[in-house]
Amino acid sequence: MKRPIALLALCSAFALPAFAQMTPAQTNQDPAAARMEARNARGAQLTTVTPEQAQANELRRCANLPPFYKTDCEARVRGQAGQESGSVIGGGIIRETVTTMPASELRSLESNPQEMNFAKPLPPQRQPARK
């Protein structure tokens, strides 16, 4: 008598993960994107992204920024950021840089933002850790 009950309990334990799976209605993914991803996965068309491709994608995101911001963006992408915090699992990595410039240059840039061409950035300054 104990053996059938133990077997039933074991089968039930293995069946529980099937109930925990998310249905398509429970996800926030676009249904059309989900169908396309599934179709590509079935056709073995999904490829892995190489580190070079990933960095090229990151640099491409900086391309549309004004030159003043583009320089800092590219420095952050290349890992030259002054401070880094967070994690991918926690929602994202925050990269912070501080750009120091003379006050006279800052005032002229504030009065004419189109001239924000910061071709020679100063190296990022290390900031003390925040508590």
d(CA 131, CA 93): 17
Kindly list the averaged pLDDT for each block of 10 residues, start to end, along the chain of length 131.
73 64 67 81 74 88 82 84 81 80 78 59 59 53
In contact, 126 and 82? CB cutoff 8 Å: yes
Write the CA distances from 123 to 38, 58, 84, 97, 108, integer angstroms. Answer: 46, 21, 15, 9, 21
The pLDDT of residue 20 is 62
The pLDDT of residue 125 is 60
